[in-house]
Chains A and B, each alone.
Chain A
Amino acid sequence: MNLPKLKINISCLKALFTQKTFYTSLTSKNLICLILSLIAMGTLSGCKPVQKITHNAITYCSESSPAFFNPQLDTSSTTADASAHQIYDRLLEFNPENGKIEPGLASSWLVSNDGLIYTFQLRRNVKFHKTDYFTPNRNFNADDVIFSINRWRLPSHPFHNVNGGSYPYFASLNLSETIKEVKRINGYRIEISLFKPDSSFLANLATDFSVILSAEYADYLLEKGQPSKLDVQPIGTGPYKFVYYQQNQYIRYERHAEYFLPIKGSEHLIFDITTKSSLRMAKLITGECDAVAFPSQNDLAVIADREDLTLLEKPGLNIGFWAFNTSKAPFNNPKVRRALSLAVDKTSILDAIYLGQAIRAKNIVPSASWAYQTNTKELGYNPVRARELLDEAGVPYNFTMDIWAMPVQRAYNPNAAKMAELIQQYLKDVGITANIVSYDWAIFRENLTAGMHDSVLIGWNADNGDPDNFYRPLLTCDAIPSGTNRAMWCNRDYDKIIIQALSTDNFEQRKALYHQANTLLFQEMPIMPIAHAYQYQAVRSNIQGLDINSFGGIRFDDVVKTP
């Protein structure tokens, strides 16, 4: 509101109220002036620019509510973002720059020559969170590691069935069958022995899901008869401790003052749960958010243009794909799956949905991975051949199928609903009617795991740099019940190749095996690979230290806000 106008308003108001005869003196000029004044009063209080009370707090606008505060129980990146690097630590960590494995809660480790025994030396003087609901009496030690691993590994463990008892990441890799024993050598030394060598084992211990919980807290909860609180009111060793969570609204964290590493992060951390990407963007502009999850592709140019916003960008270790439910007819026929893939022009999807912010996917690993195959074969766009294949497979004209479109944005699929519409058009050309189906994210994944879909547009974000992290959880038989194998595809030959690739440390050998798997996938086409997307994160320009974590959840331990 500019000042001169306000002065006029005030003077005319004065004139208004000093009149002896109140309403008789009302002229149209006076009346307009009164209304103007009232409007001015209404808006005046909002004239100051947006200010934050404290620069010691970071507000991150996340895209959805986490299922739990424990990533062991859920592979969704929302859950990992909310807990993995805020509340917890792992035995090992990935270096965010190069993906190499570094010490976490384990200060050093030793692998036996046969690759079967792993010994970890644990860090001393690591303190668990002290909160309103729990005060730890001891530091982190070997018992916590044993508790955290045995919880998902042993069905007889008192906490195994708490909060659903499903550990999708570990189940998809069949890790509980790989580990023979977790043994305490002394308070700060632990030995894990395996049944068979697993070249991705260390990488798996460094993923978001291998968090270390507090055994003391678990005992305390068991005594109180509230074991389910373990994953809802979490206690960990991480840089932030949990304060409060209001579903669908916000999560509040506070810095863990006794964290074992020096960190620069702010005193308070808030996740403001904002499901609509347009609203997240708006809140970023007004300064209500300091950083936002998954900026929409349409907004990227706007963010890059504005001086007060910064766009972070990184080629992602991810894959967006169209999975066919191979447990259902006619999708159990590879011919039908190949036909559907042939019917769709990927180039237009890349242009229209990813707006060119992605690389065309030929097989399931992106070029950033060492297992990437340059000379891989790919099905092109050929609707005539598609129709021929459909006829051969006996799929009639006007066959109706469902395309499930994931309801949330992910880097690997920024707009599944729009993508589904595009595919719908292409399928029409080959005589297939497609219905688009969508549910709330939690229900969506539940129904997918139950295999209720015909086909689904979804994807996968890698949790570690190992190619096994794509091949195994996405398409092996063990990954069906755990709900990461969206194609419900079980092929013994494929499983054999993938398991063989794990038993060796020789890169060239593994590479050759993965190329073999690619050929098999090309023939069987359980999923149609679409794109490897760039990952984006939008932050306000006064935020420093926030990087895109290619290997999982977002981390705030070194994020600072300058005034």
Chain B
Amino acid sequence: MTAKRRSPYPYWFVLPAAVVFTVLFLVPTIASFWFSMTRWDLFQTEFIGWDNYRQFFKEPFLVQGLTNTLIYAVVTSGAKTILGLLLAVLLTSGILWQGFLRSVVFFPVLVSTIGVGITFAALMHPTKGAINIALSYVGIDGPSWLSDPTLALYSVAFIDIWKGVGLATLIYIAGLAAISPEYYEAARIDGATRSQQFWRVTVPLVQPATVTVVTLSLIGGLRSFDIIWATTKGGPGFASDVLASVIYKQYQAGFYGLATAGNVILFLLIAIIILPLTWWFNKREVDL
């Protein structure tokens, strides 16, 4: 055996992926720092320093967009985590039609976001929609789900949860399957009740899945855009605007420099939230 034997895991394996990723992702991301400091109409750029950022933080709806983004991300990822775990427990407990139910819960993950948005916009129509008509049968005067400014954001979040909870469930089902049945047996022998088993065995041992679900859904929630655009377009007014939709509107209005500045701000926001969270999760995992 020679000292300088070639590794069986050569770095050129990484090369094709690295080239595509660098050129089409890293370069634009780095370039965005420059373009965010320009007034840009795709034809010419004019350097204007921090003006775009100042403008962005001057927009009164940005502050609302920022809080909306946080609310939306926390509500959707929280609900997906909790409901996902409960559904996973239910759908691994050997109930009737378990396999079919798993499929039913998972299927919305796979369908078109735009299609789901259009469908729910119809179902949530304040006067003609099936939801309010159903509510009226039990004597409830349903609200304007998507056009009431206090509700719109949560209605969209509901649609997002409806569509995404299946993925969380699936990840949890996989996580639950990785827990050795011996733990449950030991717990039963110790006389633990079902709820004790859930809190003392399931929740701690399924933590790797929790990390995945929380991280993925939080990033997804912070970046969320499609479903909002397909239902409220950020409305009424700016009531359900999130960062991504604010950026999109600036982009569409032709304020390319400003939109790019928004992109940078969203990037920083995600980094500020996700990096400490990841670090914290990793630390806890070591502790376990």
A binds B: no
Residues of B whose CB lies within 8 Å of any CB of A are none
Residues of A whose CB lies within 8 Å of any CB of B are none
